[in-house]
Amino acid sequence: MPIQFSCPKCGGRLTAPDSAAGVTAPCPRCGASVTAPLQAGQPLPAGQARGSAVSAPHHTESAGRAVQAPTRTGPVCHICGGGTIAGVCSCCSRIVCRECATRERKDLVCSPCRTLRDGTTGSNPVAALRAIEALGPDVARHRPQRATREVKKAHDLVEMTIRSLVAEGALDAASALALRAQSARGLWGLPPAYVPSPSRRSAPNRPPTREEFDITAQVVSSFLPVPATHPGLTAMVGELASRASIPTPRLWILRDEVPNACAVGFVPEEAHLMVTAGLLNSGIPERQLFAVLSHEVAHITLGHTAENTALHAKALDIQMSAALTGGAVAGAGGGLGATVASVSALSDDDCVGLLGLVVGLGIAAVGGAVGAGISAQGAAAAKATLTRGLHHMEFAADARGAELSGDPQALADALAYLDRSQDAGRWSGRAVGHAAHAFIVAPGVAWSLADASTHPPCSRRIAALALLRMAREAR
């Protein structure tokens, strides 16, 4: 149990852990020497005089004989185990030295408590979680009042961030953050956090059907690409395909000078990866180029290229069978509303429903045009569902791509560069408008299929990557 007592000089109420019984330290308010009283029936540790704490002697070897090191007397910093004692932290009630604490007005605050408060007020949930972990199980067991308040505020921030990430479609970052928060919540007696499921889709391991092969060939030819002959690029794609355990996709170069990349194909066995000449000539570091390719290989691995290819085919007015689009409901009317309702809470496994909604029921409703029997509310719901589905695929490919490359920071840097480099006036041909949804970043050209948002803001993708990296790193 924590020891609560008063300073004999200023009368301030102080709290210290029971391990500090008999220890003398400066009062954090007035600086006067105060000795933490013993609990009833609690003896002083053997060899410890009242008002001091004696550390155990240790020995060092010198010239072949044991020499006893000088004995340190007095209280010891509960954070670093040494230093010149400054007092007791006003938040967690630990004894701290001058190096591990700062004085803020009349309060002495240790570095973990300050980081905890700054992380909460600065909306940095990972920094707040690190600070909670730095407080350790002893503080969590005693649960000082001020520290407990700050910990609850930090976990509220974490919970809010998790739900915000889920709403955006960044399920991998949300799941990693929730898992890191779980152990700390248990130590502080808080209820378990909401842990969303990460992205678990995988592309089917089978050859393409004849229809899939023909549609993919038409989509690829619409870009007017040339086969890639860059040996370094081919080696990178081969390495990433090996890591992802998929066949190496065919590699193409687009003549456009805007740096970007995309991938198409219904199954990995017939996948195509395209990079622009602008990306190869941009001079970006090799690790960033590798990260861009890892994002596209991730789309193939996760099966997202099936949706991207079908949407591109729809923009080209290529006819697709109902079996390919997931058996879409025929006709608009009430069918659209029922389909929208069934996928309004789109998850990682609902892309067949997305294809049926977008391709089978008609993109006009998604784009905002209200046709016969289609309500404005249904069109808005369809558009929101499509937007969230496309955003979720980008967040998931970022997470999987960072895992494949092993360098999430390189992907974040590449996204920032590519986002700055898009210029609608430098793209050639109409294919970019049909494939605006498939590129790693929005190309700056309006999507020809619908007025839905094809990509989340790059700032949010970079933030999700940072959260994912920090939440998964070794504690």
Catalytic residues: 296
CA–CA distances in Å: residue 275 to residues 84, 439, 461: 60, 9, 21
CA–CA distances in Å: residue 466 to residues 41, 127, 273, 400, 403: 52, 12, 26, 14, 13
Q: What is the helix (H) or strand (E) element at residue 108, kind and residue range? A: strand 107-110
CA–CA distances in Å: residue 451 to residues 7, 40, 126, 368, 382: 68, 73, 35, 7, 12
Show contacts of 8-13: CB within 8 Å, 24+ apart: 8/32, 8/34, 9/34
CA angle 219, 257, 302 (to 5 degrees): 45
Q: Give dist(CA 150, CA 157) in Å, integer.
A: 11
Q: How far is CA 215 from the centre of its chain?
A: 35
Q: How far is CA 456 from the centre of its chain?
A: 14
Q: What is the helix (H) or strand (E) element at residue 117, kind and residue range? A: helix 111-121
Q: Which residues pair with 88 in a beta bridge?
A: 95
Other CB atoms within 10 Å distance of the CB of residue 248: 17
- Going by C-alpha positions, the residue among 169, 168, 167, 165 that lies closest to residue 179 is 165
In the chain, what are the helix, strand and coil shares in percent, each to the nearest 5?
50, 10, 40
Q: Give dist(CA 417, CA 430) in Å, integer.
A: 24
What is the token pair recorded at 148?
């407990």
Other CB atoms within 10 Å distance of the CB of residue 221: 11
- Going by C-alpha positions, the residue among 47, 5, 38 that lies closest to residue 20 is 38
With 0-12 CB in 10 A as exposed, 13-18 as middle and 19+ as buried, what is 227?
Answer: exposed
Q: Give dist(CA 158, CA 128) in Å, integer.
A: 8
SS3 452: coil
Q: Give dist(CA 93, CA 87) in Å, integer.
A: 9
What is the token pair recorded at 407?
């360098």
